[in-house]
Structure formats: C-alpha cells, structure tokens
Structure 1
Amino acid sequence: MIDATHDPALRSWVESANGHPHFPIQNLPLGIFSPPGGGAPRGGVAIGDRILDLPAAAALLIGEAAQAAAAAGAPTLNALFALGAGPRRALRAQLSELLAEGSPARARVEPLLHAAADCALHLPARIGDYTDFYVGIHHATNIGKVFRPDNPLLPNYKYVPIGYHGRASSVRVSGTPVRRPSGQLKLPDSEAPVFGPCRRLDYELEVGVWIGPGNELGEPIPVGEADSHVAGFCLLNDWSARDIQAWEYQPLGPFLAKNFGSTISPWVITPEALAPFRIAQPARPEGDPAPLPYLLDDADQRAGAFDIGLEVFLETPGLRERGLPPHRLSASNTRHMYWTVAQMVAHHASNGCDLHPGDLLGSGTISAPDEAGCGSLLETTKGGTRPVELESGETRRFLEDGDAVILRARAENPGFVAIGFGECRATVLPAR
C-alpha cells in the first residue's frame, strides 16, 4: 500500500503543508466544510492550513477520482464512503499530483483553496449507528481492578472483542461544547438515589473508525476482507458520567452515563494515509488464547495494528487566566489495542449484522500500561482519590465546568513524513 503519495521527498506548492504537524501532502484527509461567508456544506481535503473544495475540483480529475470528488458534493461523505477503496485511492493519487510542487495544474487548483481558519467544519458523515468497543486492555484492567481486584478482566475479554451499541444522535464535531449531564446518583450517605448534575464527569481517549461500503443483512464480513470496509479514522472522546454509570449500569450496561455526548475530530484520516504506520499486532502474553478462527487472519496479524501516538490535554479556566498552556494528562498509543480494527469489524458483522456507510465504531479507551498513559481521569486519579495538580494551583479529580479536553494524535515512522489527526476538543458547560 506504500506508493508515490507517501514519498518523504514529496512537497506541495501549498507552502503551509510542508512541515505541517498534521496535514502535509502525505496525509490529505477528508472532511465536510462550509466555505467563508456561508454556503452549503461540501466535501474538502485538508492541505496545510488550507481546505481544497472537492466537488469544485472534480472537473480537474478523471475516472474513479472524479467519481469520488463528485460524491463529495453532498453535505456528508456517506456517498463517498460507499464507493470503497478503489475510488478513494484514485482520488488520493490524483490530488497528490495536483497539489505537488511543480504541478502544471496549480493555477487552476489555487482558486479552489480556502483558508481553514475561515471555514466551518461539520460532522463528516450522517452516522446511522454507533458502536463502542472495549479493546484497550490496560484500561479494561485498570477499571476491573476497582471492582474485581483479584480478577480484573472478565473471562470473555480475551475471546470476544467486547462492544455495546450506543447512540448516534449526540455525536458532535470538535469545538462543540458538551453539557454536563444530570441523572440518578446513588450517594454514599443515602439509601435512595437522587436526581441531579453529574459530579464525576470524565473523558475517554478513543479512536473512531468510519465504515465504508458495509454488508448486507445476514452476510458476515470475513476478517481478511474487513479492511476493505473501513473508510477512515478519527479521534473520539466518549464522555462518561462515572457516578450515573455506577448506579445504572447493572444489568444492561451504560445508558444515560454515556448517551449525553461524544466528540469526534472533523477530519477522516484515510487507511491509505496510515499505510506507513501499520505494524504487526503485538504478540499476546503467554497463556492468552489465540483468536477464534473467524477472527484470525495472517495478513491482519502481520500488519493490522497501528503505531499512532495519542495525547490528552486539559485546559482549565485557571490555566487560561494565567496564560498557561494546557496540561498534558496522558500519552498513549494505538499499539495498546488488544484487538485489531479488522477484528472489530469482522466480529460486529459475524452474526449477519449489517454495517452501513457512515457507521461509526469506537475503539474504547486506549490506555498505556504505565500511569502516565491512562486514558481517563478515573484511572489517572485512582477513582478521584489522587487529584491531578496543575501549574495554576488548581486540582482535578474529575472535570469541572469550563474545562476543555483536547485529544491529539500523531503517526510517526522513520523514513516517512509524520501526519496528525487534527484536534478533538470540547469545553464542559454547566448542567441545566
């Protein structure tokens, strides 16, 4: 999957792309934007600090690439996702040529660029269904220790890519505030629950997976073909109201503790852009069972995982007032996922469940094995018993009103140009 679009010597005539921390010409992520001054949302590609209008560029493209650009003329990328990998790869290849240094098409392409700072970004797709997995084994272990110190992982964890069906209606794009939820709380000093604002609001560091073509109802997706049904990736903050969840989650799992909001980054990082950052799935610890045959594919085991650095930052009112930078809470990596993306997709469809273009899967919280890599405050603060101390003099056990959580991701590999995901950011508003 490595081709000319990944060439580290490749430079763009869009000067801001050269050395850009997120969007060099080797990335070319997809998204939905509105140009300055309004206008209908349409597909775009990030290049440095600019956005290329995809439907406007369709006339400069041929074949499947032109088909893909035309499909991006809608206010969502669902139609483009449905086309699959072939048109998406053709689009990437031809856009790379158009935007490369020395391109004879520069004069025709340049008027189709907009300053990203002047554009509005939207959800990339109309999300039909949302499923959250639980493939971060260190997070699962840390959380399990709170409830089952002697046996933190349930017996099924190493056999099943555990997931649950969430809701799509409250997924929002980065920059949209999240309202502190209210719900039933069981306080330590009361026999009956009370209804009120969440007191233990938390974030969860996740990666989102966008579904491409999908499958028909009743037709499973073999694990060896699952990658062809992935349209791209994003960052995902799956907010969690820990105190509401503690009371409501038995016997059916989280409900109001999760469905009040999830935040995703606006740019879809394509599988092609991430090709240089694929790695072998880390070997399972000795004694762990091998995946069942329907989840086991040699090619997926050789190159089905990713090496993507993940970070979480906290920006508080006190830090802002003092002109201090956001505080880094965590640094983790996608290599800590116990199951691959292909295994998640294959398992989801193994019973014949149909996946549709624009469906969103969450990885579940991705924590590193060390304490500096916890993917949630529940882990970092040991359930609120060990507060985080900030340079502003503030402390945090859980999130307070006015706090902003910022997720970032960066893929690096010697010999290739590093790419980023852009930010996934949201500020907490007070409960109503």
Structure 2
Amino acid sequence: MVLNSFVQVHPDSHFPLENLPYGVFKPQESLEPRPGVAIGDYVLDLSVVSSAGLFDGPILNSSDCFLQPSLNKFLGMGRPAWKEARATLQKLLSSDNPTFRDNASLREKSLLPMDKVKMLLPAVIGDYTDFFSSMHHAKNCGTMFRGPENAIPPNWFHLPIAYHGRASSIVISGTDIIRPRGQGHPVGNSPPYFGPSLKLDFELEMAAVVGPGNELGKPIDVNEAADHIFGLVLMNDWSARDIQAWEYVPLGPFLGKSFGTTVSPWIVTLDALEPFACDAPKQEPHPLPYLAEKNSKNYDISLEVRIKPSGQEHSSVVTSSNFKHLYWTLTQQLAHHTINGCNLRPGDLLGTGTISGPEPESLGCLLELTWNGQKSLSLNGLNRKFLEDGDEVIFAGCCKGNGYNVGFGTCSGKILPAP
C-alpha cells in the first residue's frame, strides 16, 4: 500500500513518505547547519520539528539530537531512536494528520524547497574504509593485470578485503574534483612519469554510514551488525589508475585514491530499504564462523552512471548495475572490520568497493568498461578511455516499489584541470 503525504510527491520522486532519508543542510549561507529529511521536492527542517516539541516519543522527547549541526548524535542513539523518529515523521507528514497540514505557519518554517537549500555532508566522518566486495569487479581487474588463471587471489573468498581511506577528502555531491598529479610507471629506462593523471576514473560504489560504534577490543557479532548500520549513500571513489598502478605494491592504494571521494547528501535508512531486501549470492567456500550469517541479504537497488562531457547538453548512460551483485554483505564487512577489536564510531563510512555486475553494461568503472584503455567508450559521438577535464559524472540509485520509489537522488562531480 502506497503511503500518502499532504506534501505533493510526484510518482517518479525518489523521496516519498516510504523513504524519508536524512541529511544536513543550510537554509541560507549565513545560518547554521541542521538535520533534515527529504519529502518530495522539499526538505523538512528537523530542528523546527524538535523545537516545536513534536518528537514526543519516550526516547526523543528530551533529546537535542536534531538541534545539532550534524547527524552524529542521532546516529549514535541506535535503532530504537531511529524507529521512533521514522514513525513520528511518517505520522506528522501523512495526509490525514492535521499537525502540519493545517498549520500554515509551521509548514512555512519547516518545509523548505530542496532547490533553495545548500546540502552538506550529513555526518562528521572520522574514519573511512573502502572494501573490495564485488566478485565481478575483482575478477575483471585481476584478469586484466594478472591473467585469468590468477584473477582472484585465494584470500578474497575468505574475507572482505579493504583499505583505509582518507576521510578529509570526502566531499558532498556537486563538488568539483581537481585532476590529481602524481607519479606513474616509468617507460623503459626513463624515470617515473610525473604530472597530471592520464587515467582518471570513477568507481560506482555505495557506502554504509555507521550508527552506534563498538568499544576498542570488543568486536561486533555479524548477526547484530545491522543494528550498527544507519543507512546507505551513493559514493564515487574517484581513482587515478596510473598513479594507483605505480604505488599500490606492496602496501595498497594511497595518492591514487585520496584526492577525492564524493557521496550523495541523503542517507537512506536500512528501514526504508527493508522491503527491497534480497538473498545475497551463495558464498563458496562457506565463510568462517564469525562471518557466517543466519540471514545473509543484499538489497535490490538499481544503479546508473552517466557522463556529461563539457559543452554537451545531454549525458550518456555508461553503466547500469545493481547493489545485489555484491558478494560480501554490508553486515559481513562491518563484522570483519571489528573482529580484531577495531572500534568504529558514529558517522564512520564503509565503502562497498566498485559494484560491477556480470553483464558488459553493468561494469562499475572505466578501467573495466574500456579494459584499461584498450578500447573506447562512445558518449554521443565523443570517445572516452578515461575521464577528461570538464566531464561530469552522475550516479543515481533507486529501488522500485509498487507505485513508489525509494531513491538516493544523485551523486555528481565535475573534473577540473590539474593546477
């Protein structure tokens, strides 16, 4: 059954009453950031809702979590608080509730047009980890660089592999990305190349936003891990493939990744995604006990990547993939991250790694789509092997319900020339 809001929501909108994703915004540049939820083409200012005493449940009625400039305090309160907030907001925004519907002054103060506000990072991100959880992506990259006989190393099927990323260079959708400079492979007896990256790439990912963390030395059980994940965002893990290829042996990614990571502004909660849960792929060999889940699931989230070259009016779809292709689940990623006693904190970001599917059109980066530049991709008559200056990359993600969508909006960034 489709839920009805007094706020007009277009049938194609990503933000109906069934979704209510959380973000942080400024109504005006001079005002302080505050939390909000998306409903149709509007942002509901949660600081106004809170100040009006409308969060009247037992957990939130005395909390100032929505009077903060970030979502971190609310994230740390855990699933009971999240469920209470969701139930309260769905009730307040429903078409048969007069609290907002019949109060013009309250509506004017709290419901702001989305295109008039400035979106910010939804949380203070203390740490960022990026996993490598798509078997199709791992197999393609391995085949490219090591050959089909050694495509996926044996450890990949036993644990969710990851690297520790750079939290300081995570930016909100719409932020320009400056082409990085660095070293690349030497040719023959020449010294290494130094200059602007010649193989700049996008990576289609999503990322989990951590809720309550764990104490140092106390791992999170895989079957309880979902209670430590607030929700998901779209994520573009921009990659300079030439810099990455020269530096990553023996310690992994560094400057080829740390120049920028873009996330979408709205965190879609696991509660909103639950109707779209689906079985995760069968894992062979069977995971070790600490990774063995009673209920192993992914989510059916359609994902799309478009590229809009500079000066062109239209963008071209280059990738159509799906979150359900991930081999390692979100909960396995989080449980593995803490199994050594590592402590996660509210607002930490856990990237999934590139989400590639089995079909040629579902590959999640240009490295795979062009097979490391050996072939070209056509964008309305323009050829691309890797990203060029002025190219804008736009991610979108959406779950299709019966008469409604639960979507993430977009995650975009434009490439500017190196200094």
TM-score bracket for the superposition, by shorter chain length: over 0.9
1:376-415 → structure 2 map (5 Å cutoff): 376-391=365-380, 393-413=381-401, 415=402
Aligned to 1:41: 33
Measure how far apart 1:282 and its partner are.
2.1
Aligned to 1:283: 282
1:253-264 → structure 2 map (5 Å cutoff): 253-264=252-263
1:81-96 → structure 2 map (5 Å cutoff): 81-96=75-90
1:293-308 → structure 2 map (5 Å cutoff): 293-299=289-295, 301=296, 304-308=297-301
Aligned to 1:131: 129
Whether the 8 Å contact between 2:199 and 2:387 is mirrored in structure 1 is yes
Q: How many residues align?
A: 412
Q: Is 1:250 matched up with 2:249?
A: yes
Whether the 8 Å contact between 2:12 and 2:404 is mirrored in structure 1 is no
Question: What CA deviation, in whole Å up to 9, does each residue of 1:263-292 have, x standing for no partner?
Answer: 0000010111101011121223xxx20011
Aligned to 2:331: 342
Aligned to 2:415: 428
Aligned to 2:150: 151
* Aligned mates of 2:129, 2:29 — CA distance in 1: 36
* Aligned mates of 2:188, 2:393 — CA distance in 1: 31
Q: 1:360 to 1:37 in 2, by over 3 A?
A: closer
* Aligned mates of 1:190, 1:137 — CA distance in 2: 36
Whether the 8 Å contact between 1:54 and 1:69 is mirrored in structure 2 is no
Measure how far apart 1:107 and its partner are.
3.0
* Aligned mates of 1:164, 1:37 — CA distance in 2: 36
Measure how far apart 1:190 and its partner are.
5.0
Q: 1:190 to 1:371 in 2, by over 3 A?
A: farther
Question: What CA deviation, in whole Å up to 9, does each residue of 1:129-153 have, x standing for no partner?
Answer: 0000000110111000011212200
* Aligned mates of 1:126, 1:63 — CA distance in 2: 26
Aligned to 1:14: 7
More divergent stretch after superposition (34-43 vs 231-240)? 34-43
Unaligned runs of 5+ residues in structure 1 are 1-7
Q: Which amino acid aligns with 1:282?
A: P
Q: 1:178 to 1:396 in 2, by over 3 A?
A: same
* Aligned mates of 1:22, 1:403 — CA distance in 2: 25
% of aligned pairs identical? 46
Question: What CA deviation, in whole Å up to 9, does each residue of 1:311-342 have, x standing for no partner?
Answer: 100010142xxx3x210000000111001100
Q: Which amino acid aligns with 1:77?
A: L
* Candidates 304, 307, 320, aligned match of 1:314: 307
* Aligned mates of 2:44, 2:278 — CA distance in 1: 31
Q: Tell me the TM-score normalised to structure 2 length.
A: 0.96
1:39-188 → structure 2 map (5 Å cutoff): 39-58=31-50, 59-64=53-58, 66-67=60-61, 70-105=64-99, 106-108=101-103, 109-111=106-108, 112-149=110-147, 150-188=149-187
Q: 1:68 to 1:344 in 2, by over 3 A?
A: farther
Measure how far apart 1:67 and its partner are.
4.7
1:329 partner SS: strand
Q: Tell me the TM-score normalised to structure 1 length.
A: 0.93
Q: Which amino acid aligns with 1:265?
A: S
Measure how far apart 1:18 and its partner are.
4.2
* Aligned mates of 2:282, 2:232 — CA distance in 1: 24
* Aligned mates of 2:319, 2:90 — CA distance in 1: 34
Whether the 8 Å contact between 2:12 and 2:405 is mirrored in structure 1 is no
Measure how far apart 1:10 and its partner are.
1.3
Whether the 8 Å contact between 2:21 and 2:266 is mirrored in structure 1 is yes
Measure how far apart 1:382 and its partner are.
1.0
Q: Where has structure 1 moved over 4 Å in runs of 4 or more?
A: none
* Candidates 15, 18, 36, aligned match of 1:23: 15
Whether the 8 Å contact between 2:319 and 2:361 is mirrored in structure 1 is yes
Whether the 8 Å contact between 1:42 and 1:75 is mirrored in structure 2 is yes
Aligned to 1:267: 266
Whether the 8 Å contact between 1:182 and 1:198 is mirrored in structure 2 is yes
Aligned to 1:3: none
* Aligned mates of 1:276, 1:68 — CA distance in 2: 31
Whether the 8 Å contact between 1:36 and 1:119 is mirrored in structure 2 is yes
Q: 1:416 to 1:337 in 2, by over 3 A?
A: farther
Q: Which amino acid aligns with 1:329?
A: V
Measure how far apart 1:195 and its partner are.
1.8
* Aligned mates of 1:310, 1:334 — CA distance in 2: 7
